[in-house]
Chain A
Amino acid sequence: MAALARTYRLGEDDDLGIVAGNRICGELSTIAALIATVSIISGWPAIAADILLSERKSGYQFLARETRAMQDDDTANPGMLWVLDGEALWNRKVGKANKSCADCHNDASTSMKGVAARYPAFNEAANRPIDLEQRINICRTDQQNATPLLFESNEMLALAGFVGRQSRGMPIAVSDDERTKPFIQAGRAMFGRRQGQLNLSCAQCHDDNWGAKLAGVSVPQGHPTGYPLYRLEWQAMGSLQRRLRNCLIGMRAQAYTFGAPEYVNLELFLMWRARGMAIETPAVRP
């Protein structure tokens, strides 16, 4: 499995080293230009107004025709390479328990249908919401008695992609109840909070300036409809947390470690914000 053996590609978002320097500077100067433009407007609101439900657009709708064609055709969508690996992993026995995912969950096309659309979901043991990747790792440790998979490892992306693929076309429906509400609120607060050296909030780009251009690419509304997804710039599959890390580094904010509760809160808020929109996993994005 070449795809699984693949080393994590050092990219502009992944490292603050020399490799990353030029591209980050490019993105930052564009962000700086954007700030220069918007800071002229006095009284810039700290928390922007929500996008109306009827005006929401998936990142897909901002794609070039060629990129849409890649996503639409399962034989041209490179994310499907990971999904195929995920299918193989689903059926492979692992761990001291010598059990495969399929031994408990059987046919993923029925048992996993709609699951990705409900995550992050509240977990009793953790007493907080967990995302799909964390849920997979709970199965790994508790049921299969195997070592947890690393965040952003090809194995994790393959399994999450395979599970996500089973919900394609289904509406996002994270739980919005008494237990999850405080975490959705925490995610919303983070979304609206200015942070980093550029003093930007997520909302300033994704609520107020979607449709504008940043580094030649359209600023999307930031609905996580297609994760894990294949990003052409990454030349690889990546999770929503990698995307969030990418944005945080672009804002010159300190990124959290993968799996941090702050990320999961934000993921939960973003999924709630995208409620009712269709899952596209594995999506393709520039």
Chain B
Amino acid sequence: MARILINVPPKAKRGDVIEIKTLISHDMESGYRPDNVGKTIPRDIISLFVATYNGAEIFRAELHPAIAANPFLSFTTIATESGRIDFKWTGDNEFLATETALIAVE
């Protein structure tokens, strides 16, 4: 299982702009590198990241072979209501990782 680190403020005031940071362990093998005998290492990357806030999509990122290993994505949203923010990474070789963070909005 991939290691995931998430930073979502546990509490926010309604209407506040909050910063969300996500980090996931992944090789992001570009598909262009040769191994030590000259054979091309097959591509193995995360290709899509989606964040939803109580079910509604708030952020989406398409990732490509030029993205470095262990992608770090940070974005902002407006704290509208208490609930959950779900994160989902999908990619090559049926890669799937999910994580959830809870937020309390006053």
Q: Which residues of A contact B (CB under 8 A)?
A: 1-3, 6-7, 9-10, 15, 17-19, 70, 73-76, 78, 80-81, 84-85, 232, 235-236
Contacts and interface: CB of A to CB of B under 8 A. Distances in A.
Nearest to A15: B36
Contacts of B33: 10, 19
Nearest to B68: A235
Contact of B2 (A2, A7, A15, A75): A2
B3 A2 contact: yes
Interface of B: 1-3, 5-7, 21, 23, 25-28, 33-36, 41, 68-70, 72, 74
B36 A76 contact: no
A2 B25 contact: yes
Q: Which 3 A-B pairs have the closest CB atoms?
A: A75-B7, A235-B69, A3-B25
8 contacts: A1-B1, A2-B27, A3-B3, A6-B69, A9-B69, A76-B7, A85-B3, A236-B69
Most buried by B among A7, A70, A76, A80: A76
A250 to B, nearest CB: 20
A84 B28 CA distance: 20
Given A3-B3, A18-B34, A78 B21 contact: no
Contact of A2 (B23, B26, B74): B26
A58 B69 CA distance: 26
Given A2-B27, A75-B6, A76-B23, A232 B1 contact: no
A81 B34 contact: no
A69 to B, nearest CB: 10
A155 to B, nearest CB: 14
B21 A73 contact: yes
B5 A74 contact: yes
B25 A81 contact: yes
A286 to B, nearest CB: 12
A85 B69 CA distance: 16
B29 to A, nearest CB: 8
